Structure 1
Amino acid sequence: MGSMRRTVAELVQERWGDHRPGLWFEGRVLSHHRVAAGAAARAALLADLLPPGAAPHIGVLLDNTPEYPLWLSAAALSGAAVAGINPTRRGPELARDILHTECRVLVTERTHLPLLDGLELPGVRVLVTDTEAYEELLTPYEGAKPDAAPSVSADARLLLYFTSGSTGAPKAAICTQGRLAAAGRSLVDQFGVRPDDTHYICMPMFHGNAVIADWAPALAAGAGIALRRRFSASGFLADVRACGATYFTYVGRAVQYLLATPARGDDRDNPLRMGFGTEAGAVDAAAFEERFGVRLVEGYGSSEGGAAIQWTPGAPAGAIGRAAPRDDLAVVDPQTAAECPPAVFAEDGRLLNGDEAIGELVNRGPNPFEGYWRNPAADADRRRRGSPRSGEAGSGGGWYWTGDLFYRDTDGFLYFAGRADDRLRVDSENLAAAMIENILARHEGAAAVAVYAVPDPVAGDQVMAAIAPREGAGFDPSAFAEFLLAQPDLGTKMAPRFVRIVTRMPVTATNKIHRVGLRREGFRCADPVWWRPPGESAYRRLREPDIEGLLAEYRARGREKLLPAG
């Protein structure tokens, strides 16, 4: 059987009899063998719990405890699929996620039981891992062996992980055993993962990033993993030193939070070789390597598997890399589907034609996108043919539309420019929030930055930024205005009209900035907001009379309905 068609079940089975340390968690260490044995026991239990004829799906509502990889491995051995349940979801939305994915078993822990209070989950058996009843339930199955691997197909579903945009219910993307095993092996080859490595998993395992980019390559290489219940910037270095971690993944603004911790003289005294993730930004990546001696490699892979950009040594500053060999990637105008012209740069690296060079990344060739669970409309939207967004959705076999903005240079290197949902249109010019954020992140007083659109009173959008100042830095509006003037690549439409000062950047459970919430609140929020009225060069506090004047202008233009409720 070729490596592309291997199963995760086989990888779990191979760890049987391997008595090297395999899993670190809160001072405890399990060998690879004990992990495989624990997975086999849970697989045997699962076979008895799942009703005949039902979709073999289990929901996992856990922090990053050992039970998470144990149940992932158990599902692989038994040919079942794990739906990662997001603990930040509440009430009917949480119930919807569990019922939509047809979970017949829900694995959780006592700390999350209050989330289930009052929910109607018909036909769902709840297992609470940190209880005596759970241990008693598992006891009869101890001694089972992971011998199910030969009967499990590479096409068997293994993951149902939720992805979401700015609107609509989250979609459950499907990942099969073959795709996950191949993704793990690809990263092993790309980064030279060794059996004596340890992967530190501090991003939540209900999200594809931690499982696909951290757990899977460790499993494929026979490397160990170290778990952290939830990401902690203050506990990061102590953890990696304690378990000898050599690799970690990050998403969102985790790197900014690590850089915001007080610097110490021994920060570079750590075993890490590299970090792999997305959206750290060139400035923060350089600062991270300077301070901790750890190289951050920015990568890109659509969570659904439809497109990937391979990291390329020697790539230009800011570039992720080139398309993976199997992909036919293009950057296209989402309205016309015409390919965007290549990027034009100034001598200092500024992008000069962002308005026309930035477009949506599409994969025009065959790709491993495996669809969403019970969501044909979302499948069709992803797989549209070469027609614009406004056109009729195509069927399977069309282009794969990533929903992400990129631009491409003349040598084929691709640069991330944000989510399609994070595009702004200011004075008829299209702007990417991520590019403005990368510029504002240079401000020495900012620990974290988010840029998003608020409606303009006349037409289009205005730029709003949320800034979390570094500890003790505060916000100096005059210094900030001077900083903006000194940025050579800050276009005339990019300067924020509104600046919201937050004590801590609001983030989702996966440590991505909660842009939907920021946009929803706009400039009428509880935090202090500074603004620069049209025609003025200085920032001043946005007061109630200012807000009343703005609202009157929106009303006069018939655009008040575009504003979130105050």
Structure 2
Amino acid sequence: MEPQARTAAASDPAPARTVADLVRDRWNDHRTGLRFEDRALTHHEVAEGAATRAALLAGLLPADAPPHFGVLLDNTPEYPLWLSAAALAGAAVAGINPTRRGPELARDILHTDCRLLITEDAHLHLLDGLELPGVRILVTGTPEYARLLASCAGALPGEATVAPVGPGARILLYFTSGSTGAPKAAICTQGRLAAAGRSLAGHFGVRRDDVHYICMPMFHGNAVLADWAPALAAGASIALRRRFSASAFLPDVRAFGATYFTYVGRAVQYILATPERPDDRDNPLRVGFGTEAGAVDAGRFAERFGVRLVEGYGSSEGGAAIQRTTGTPPGAIGRAAPGSDLAVVDPETGRERPPARLAPDGRLLNGSEAIGELVNRGRGPFEGYWRNPDADAARLRGGWYWTGDLFFRDPEGYLYFAGRDDDRLRVDSENLAAAMIENILARYGPAESVAVHAVPDPVAGDQVMASLALGPGEEPGGTATAFDPGSFRRFLDEQPDLGPKMVPRFVRILPRLPVTATNKIHRAVLRRAGFRCPDPVWWRPPGSAAYRRLTDEDRATLLAEYRAHAREDLLGR
């Protein structure tokens, strides 16, 4: 039976205004559209499953509440099926982070006014003991679930809705991945998500025969906006990995014939840390798109796998976007996307920062005056946070959208990422960006990953602390490389773009850096521990250029100095 909605034609369909349009476009498409482990669904079967679930939503979501439901799932076929169902029904999906626990997890579900929660047996234990009044829990793979789906079989797209379907209809409530405070649920409408999918599909030349590998968690905006949406817009297929696995990355890519993937945080570093093989370049990938890989690791990835990584930038909330074009210099993200009026400003005065002065080798020569916060002074697609007017006001100040990210701009207008707003350090009255120091320390051979953050100075301002995760050495069994303070000091001295105030005062050595659920370094955890952590810490005592092991006596002396200047309460924040 054919749906009453517009169906796919032999030629490209007219530009879709909603995600529901994109789902309906695939109704008559019987090519493979989704692969997961040993399962495969056609595009038509995905659209059919979405229509069934949309009808189920119409029967389960109460009419007296916002049309929201939560999804607490790994990257299984159920996730894109429910996203597509939400589009057809006019509902919104709140992506629930399975790494959240207890009251925080309950808060995310209740804050987004979810009256239905879709989960799976693997995550059911997370809900034990939680107070979730008014929330119905539906577990996939159970007899009840199968019975409910069977009762809605044969539904057609557009037959069952819970709210009007249009460009302004909410489809996503996805939590920002901030590491401090309660996460904010950013609103994304069908119009914005469809436009993002079309834009990225066009930018990367996504074809119908492409395969998008989704290994980043789908509760996060990266996987949905930058991977699933462009595949849906272009009629490409998707391949799912339940959870990211560095060791399974290349086997998956080959098995699925994947041509495109997205990444965030340290995913690229984890892949690079897997053992090299002579056939690493034997893979179908064309491009990887993401953020925070860093220029050094992007180069290593291209050399090893023959795949270019495109570093992009777009705030999760949609308020600002930078587009990489031909001719973008190494290290730069790109220029402002069409329609944006981006500026790098002093966050205190709002005055525009002067252009960066770059040395022939790309070193930033005037970082303290060129680095500022990126703002969008024009009209942006920021759609606000759900039930959080204070957060809305903090983003939109003086008619501008404030990204909270640090950048600098070269004389030609190319923008360079310099860190997050909370990654700023002030050392001896000089403003520094943690990301700039991290990019330099990433060259240190034994380090697999690096994080830089501030620790309060005992008297005023900050001091630089670096955390290094060292790779395996040559010893039998792959034991970790021992930290060599002399070698590290010599490395620092050889870096032409490492200013004297950038040199770490403290160096923490640990086997693996803590990360958030989206593989971004969890700097808040590192910052709270500071030099009072259980891992080995090396430091440069005042007046010394050499590193030595921080002892209990050293810590006691430091803490006494903090107390003497009434700054001990700043530690651990």
Match of residue 376, structure 2, among 356, 360, 363: 363
Match of residue 484, structure 2, among 462, 473, 476: 476
Give the alignment's TM-score, normalised by structure 1.
Answer: 0.96
2:483 and 2:324 map into 1 onto residues whose CA distance is 37
Aligned-residue Cα RMSD (Å) equals: 1.4
What is aligned with 1:273? Answer: 286
1:269 and 1:179 map into 2 onto residues whose CA distance is 36
Q: Residue type matched to 1:369 in 2? A: F
Q: Is the 8 Å Cα contact of residues 89 and 158 (structure 2) preserved in structure 1?
A: no
Q: Residue type matched to 2:128 in 1? A: D
What is the correspondence of 1:391-430 to structure 2 with a 5 Å cutoff? 398-430=399-431
- What SS does the corresponding residue of 1:326 show, helix, strand or coil? coil
Query: Bigger shift: 498-507 or 354-363?
Result: 498-507
1:362 and 1:193 map into 2 onto residues whose CA distance is 30
2:180 and 2:525 map into 1 onto residues whose CA distance is 12
Q: Does 1:511 align with 2:519?
A: yes
What is the correspondence of 1:88-237 to structure 2 with a 5 Å cutoff? 88-148=99-159, 152-237=165-250
1:179 and 1:348 map into 2 onto residues whose CA distance is 39
User: Gapped runs of 5+ residues in structure 2?
Assistant: 1-5, 7-12, 474-480
Q: Residue type matched to 2:535 in 1? A: D
2:542 and 2:146 map into 1 onto residues whose CA distance is 65
Q: Residue type matched to 2:338 in 1? A: P
What is aligned with 1:438? Answer: 439
Match of residue 545, structure 2, among 537, 542, 546: 537
- How many equivalent pairs are there? 553
Q: Percent of counterpart pairs with the same letter?
A: 76
What is the correspondence of 1:3-82 to structure 2 with a 5 Å cutoff? 6-82=17-93
1:250 and 1:433 map into 2 onto residues whose CA distance is 21
Q: Is the 8 Å Cα contact of residues 66 and 113 (structure 2) preserved in structure 1?
A: yes
What is aligned with 2:9? Answer: none
2:254 and 2:177 map into 1 onto residues whose CA distance is 35
- What SS does the corresponding residue of 2:404 show, helix, strand or coil? strand
- What SS does the corresponding residue of 1:483 show, helix, strand or coil? helix
- What SS does the corresponding residue of 1:234 show, helix, strand or coil? helix
Q: Is the 8 Å Cα contact of residues 76 and 240 (structure 2) preserved in structure 1?
A: yes
Give the alignment's TM-score, normalised by structure 2.
Answer: 0.95
What is aligned with 1:394? Answer: none
- What SS does the corresponding residue of 1:312 show, helix, strand or coil? coil
1:297 and 1:412 map into 2 onto residues whose CA distance is 19
What is the correspondence of 1:452-467 to structure 2 with a 5 Å cutoff? 452-467=453-468
What is aligned with 1:388? Answer: none
1:248 and 1:70 map into 2 onto residues whose CA distance is 20
2:309 and 2:401 map into 1 onto residues whose CA distance is 28
What is aligned with 1:522? Answer: 530
- What SS does the corresponding residue of 2:34 show, helix, strand or coil? strand
Q: 1:148/1:339 Cα in 2 relative to 1: closer, same or farther (>3 Å)? A: farther
Q: Is the 8 Å Cα contact of residues 179 and 516 (structure 2) preserved in structure 1?
A: no
Q: Is the 8 Å Cα contact of residues 16 and 22 (structure 2) preserved in structure 1?
A: no
- CA-CA distance at 1:189 after TM superposition: 0.8
Match of residue 298, structure 1, among 284, 307, 311: 311
What is aligned with 1:393? Answer: none
Deviations 1:41-66 (A, max 9, x none): 11000100011121000100111111
- CA-CA distance at 1:168 after TM superposition: 2.5
- What SS does the corresponding residue of 2:532 show, helix, strand or coil? coil
Q: Is the 8 Å Cα contact of residues 4 and 182 (structure 1) preserved in structure 2?
A: no
Q: Is the 8 Å Cα contact of residues 269 and 293 (structure 2) preserved in structure 1?
A: yes
- CA-CA distance at 1:539 after TM superposition: 1.1
Q: Does 1:381 align with 2:394?
A: yes
1:447 and 1:256 map into 2 onto residues whose CA distance is 7
Q: Is the 8 Å Cα contact of residues 58 and 160 (structure 2) preserved in structure 1?
A: no
Q: Is the 8 Å Cα contact of residues 177 and 516 (structure 2) preserved in structure 1?
A: no
1:8 and 1:321 map into 2 onto residues whose CA distance is 28
- CA-CA distance at 1:167 after TM superposition: 3.4
Q: Is the 8 Å Cα contact of residues 4 and 181 (structure 1) preserved in structure 2?
A: no
Q: Is the 8 Å Cα contact of residues 166 and 421 (structure 1) preserved in structure 2?
A: no
- CA-CA distance at 1:145 after TM superposition: 1.7
What is aligned with 2:497? Answer: 489
- CA-CA distance at 1:132 after TM superposition: 2.2
What is aligned with 2:557? Answer: 549
- CA-CA distance at 1:14 after TM superposition: 1.0
- CA-CA distance at 1:149 after TM superposition: 9.5
Q: Is the 8 Å Cα contact of residues 509 and 537 (structure 2) preserved in structure 1?
A: yes
1:148 and 1:418 map into 2 onto residues whose CA distance is 47
Q: Is the 8 Å Cα contact of residues 180 and 216 (structure 1) preserved in structure 2?
A: yes
Deviations 1:6-40 (A, max 9, x none): 10001011111211111111121111111111111
1:443 and 1:203 map into 2 onto residues whose CA distance is 27
Q: 1:316/1:136 Cα in 2 relative to 1: closer, same or farther (>3 Å)? A: same
